[in-house]
Structures are given as C-alpha cells and as structure tokens.
Structure 1
C-alpha cells in the first residue's frame, strides 16, 4: 500500500446493498461502476487494516473503506516546488503558483502534498497551513506526528510572523502603512469570500515598500494578523488595490484554463517563529520573485 498518496476513506452507512461495489457505484455515481471494478481489481480499495478488498467483497454497514482518489486526465502543472529545509520535525517548501497545497477538485497527484509524499517517501507528511493554489511561497509541513500539535499551535495561537508580498496598483488615496480590518464571511459562489458589516474578524497590516510610477503599480508588504480564507486578496481589492492577475477579486472573471503567463502576484515571502521543540528563533524566506 503506497504511503497515503491520494488516499480517502468512508464509513459505510446502513443499507441493503449486496456487494461493496454496488454501494460505491451508487454513492459515487459520477465515477461509474466500471471504474470501481477496475480499482478493486487493481488493489486500490482497502479495509481499515490496509488489506485490499476484492470485487466480490460484501457490503458491511459500519465498515471503514479506504481508497485512492483519482482524477481521470489530471492536467500536469509545469512548475516545481523547492525544498528549502528538512529536519526530523519540519519540511519547509517553496510552492510555485498554480499548484494546490493539498488534493482538491481536479488535482490529486498534481498537488504539493502528493508530490512531496512521492518524492520523499514520508507517508505521515502533513501541511501545518495552506496557501491558495494561485499563491506562491512558503509552506511548512510536519514530519513527526509526535511534535505536530506543537507546531500546529504556532498557527492556531498566532505565534508565527507571516509576511507576504504583492504587486498592485498605486493609489494616492491611501497613506501607508495602514491596517485593514473587516468582517469576512462566505460569499457567492461558494469558493469566494466577502466583507459585511459587523465586528471585524480579519486584520491585515499593509505597507508600500516599492513604487513603479512608470507602470502605475507598487510592491506591498502584507502582514496578516488573522488567517481568513482569501483575506489578503479581499482586503487589497476592498481598498481599490486588487492584486495583479487576481481572477476572483474584486470581480469574478469567466472560468477558463490557467494562463501560466499571468500568475497571481502574491507571494508568501517569509515565516518566523520561536521553535516550540528546540526553543530557537527560526526564519525562512522564499526564493521566488514576483
């Protein structure tokens, strides 16, 4: 059994299906019965102990079934991540634009987590935080399950200094540095966020660190004090400073294939924290440029 590559699980509900494949074909109707039969024959469906299940395996309510999630004709993302640091606890990686952090939607093997598991053989590897697929820069992964909670707490308790950089228009209407605070909630469609009136739950410090008057744009340093989904993109757009090549904010552009010539100009530049295991101060910086 491969070490966690694209693996999902489901606990079988009460029902009167005769065979496991009958349930799978009905529950995952978009995949198709023939595909499930092929996966069972190829040893890609397991019980909770990791033992392969056969095509004629009976349906057993309550049983935990594990399987490899696959996407037919998964597109190859032509950019590579770079491992910047590895020790017994942490893997620090520079993620390129367009590569999702974890399997989602039409990407499974073409995700940072799956690529790293295959490249390193670290089946227990787990991301401590995530970046949007469109955002490039630093991602921290936990290697050792015994220290994972201590490193996860850095993010949950906001004891890690996260710095981003973005390219966006210049604006004489704002004086920098400034702080944007607002209330962010789920929007429409489901994958977008929006600001509403109410007690702020998202805070970002914004600095203008470089101006390019010939192009009318600037380089901004963004320090999020909270971690709401799409917070930086939404805060910049709300200020009238949409990040360059943002297809979702302030307006949702028509869905189309990725244009690799126009990546979102947002980069997770650095991460700094006091190591919860060793106690030393640590800082990592992305080597990518916008």
Structure 2
C-alpha cells in the first residue's frame, strides 16, 4: 500500500500532539484489560436483564406498542413470544402485552442463560488524564450494550477496569469499525467537548477500502441520512426528511483488483454516515455486512469474529483539550496492514 495512504491523516498544522504519556499507567491499564478479557465476560452463561424505559410520549399506550415502536428492527410476533414466555417483567413479576403504561416507568427484559457472541477484546488505552480517556478500539466490538451484546461491549469492559467509573462517551464507532474513541471522565469535560462537536470543531479522519474506482480523486457526498433506523436497524439516504450530512473523500490508492483506498473526513456526525455515503455513491466499503454492492442492503449488523474485516478505520481525532484549550491530536496505533485489509 502506498505510503501516503497511511500518512494522509498525519498532517496537522499548529497542533499540540500529546506524544508521551505516563507509560506505566497505560501499561497497567492495558494489562488490566487483558486480564479482564482473558475469558470474555459474556462467554459464561448468565441471566441478562435489560431495561425498558417508557418515555413520556408513550404515556397511556400498551407496553407492546411501546416496545414495537421503540425497536423497529424486532417484529411484533417476537415481542409477543417474549411476553408469553414471561420474559417481560416489572420487578420480578411478568406483565401482559396489553398493560397500559405511564411515562417514566421502567420494565425489564429478561434474556435467560445468555451467552454472547465472541468479540475482539484487544482494546488499547492510548491516552488518559483527569478529563480524557482515549482508546484504540478493535473490531468486532460494540461500543455499548445493545442487541446480543452486553458484557462483551467496550463500555462494559472499560467499566470493569476503571473501578466502576462511568466514562462518558464523546462519540461512537460502529461495532465493525476500528480506531480512536474518546471518553470523558467528568461532566464539565463532556459539556465542553460536546460543544466542540456541535460547532464542527472536532476533526475526524477515517481510512476505508471500498469497491470500485471513482472517476475523480476527490469528491463530496451531501446526501441527507434518515433520522430513524428502518428494518434491521438500518439507516439509509432520505432526501425528503433526512438530516443534513456531509463527507469529504479523497482517493489515495487505486488497486488493480477493483478496490480503492479512501481518506474520509465527515463534517457532520450521523450514524453510519461514511458507510452510507460511500454505499450511496456506488462505492461500498469492503467487508460491510449491511451496505452491500449494487445498492443492496444486508440483514446483518455486526460481523462475526471469524469474518473478514470491515475496512473502515478511525485513524485520527483532533480537538481542543477541555481543560487547557490546547489543540491535541490522537492517532490510532493500528494501520490497514495490521488490520489485515
């Protein structure tokens, strides 16, 4: 692979990159992660109880209508089966699907004898201070408990090695995406960093390998992305009511096999934005289980550990430190070569 594909995201002007850290602290942290995941925490059967929170907009509706509306990727009959099995609870008591709910109530969804799918738990903390924790995320690994994953998620694993400290998520990556993830350690830092995201002051750089050869070496996609997921949790382009979205792309390498390497810079932060924009433009990401060639959609969200990688990598993140205001840049220690693209 050409050198400048790997180096494209490294160029930064007037940035203060924190290149040194207390290596002892980081080594201890990463050793603790390795120990906590030597046996994946979700690989041992347990009773998994997930909350069902009723928002005010559902006040007076049936519990069945609440869960079907809130989880469009799950069909109505599946929910009815769970109710019949006694797996939808209030406290320890099973409830009926026709129960009328009040806004603010919480119910529980029991998944008995849960064994979660395997994940890649080779998580590396690359920086931390009193305000920030920066992680180099592997894949497949969901960011937070969702669907089939609970203990085998990034936030759950980090919680176990940060003594129950509640790390606040600065931004999210797909389960299948590798690279830099930012967490905040206090509400003040989270508020300041969120304001930078809202103002478009945080620069994110991704590397991708996709199918096809675009006509131009640079292009921009501004297709609006749906506000809500559709079937199987998939979002797509919605030109009528979608959220404004913009991604800048530049081609770094064109491969004879019909693929190309791309540097992507999202200027907005919509869910699955880069994947959707490349798919919509006719150049889907290699290994993407959802956004397939020829504008087809798959039914799978998270790939299996043994599957080929999805070739999307969060290579770098630039922002101002929430305490000092200094410009900082964090870069992934992984490369396309080490990710086996």
TM-score (norm: length of structure 1): 0.74
Return the alpha-carbon distance in structure 1 between the equivalents of residues 108 and 87 of structure 2.
15
Aligned to 2:254: 211
Q: Does the 8 Å contact 2:89/2:109 carry over to 1?
A: no
- Report how far residue 123 of structure 1 moved: 2.1
Matched, 1:241 2:303: no
Range moving further from structure 2, 28-37 or 196-205: 28-37
Q: 2:324 aligns with which of 261, 278, 281?
A: 278
Pair 1:201–1:145, CA change in 2 (3 A): same
- Report how far residue 274 of structure 1 moved: 1.9
Q: Hey, which of these two has a bigger chunk of strand by percent?
A: 1
Q: How many residues align?
A: 250
Q: Hey, which of these two has a bigger chunk of helix by percent?
A: 2
Aligned to 1:182: 223
CA distances 1:257-277 after superposition (whole Å, capped 9, x unpaired): 625331210001100112232
Q: Does the 8 Å contact 1:80/1:96 carry over to 2?
A: yes
Matches within 5 A, 1:141-220: 141-171=183-213, 173-185=214-226, 186=228, 188-198=230-240, 201-213=244-256, 215-220=257-262
Matches within 5 A, 1:1-290: 8=51, 29=83, 32=87, 72-171=114-213, 173-185=214-226, 186=228, 188-198=230-240, 201-213=244-256, 215-249=257-291, 250-255=295-300, 258=304, 260-290=306-336
- Report how far residue 210 of structure 1 moved: 2.1
Range moving further from structure 2, 182-191 or 104-113: 182-191
CA distances 1:82-120 after superposition (whole Å, capped 9, x unpaired): 100000000000111111111111111111001001012
Pair 1:207–1:67, CA change in 2 (3 A): same
SS of the residue aligned with 1:179?
A: strand
TM-score (norm: length of structure 2): 0.64
Which protein, 1 or 2, shows the higher relative CO under an 8 Å CA cutoff with sep ≥ 6? 2
Return the alpha-carbon distance in structure 1 between the equivalents of residues 236 and 181 of structure 2.
25
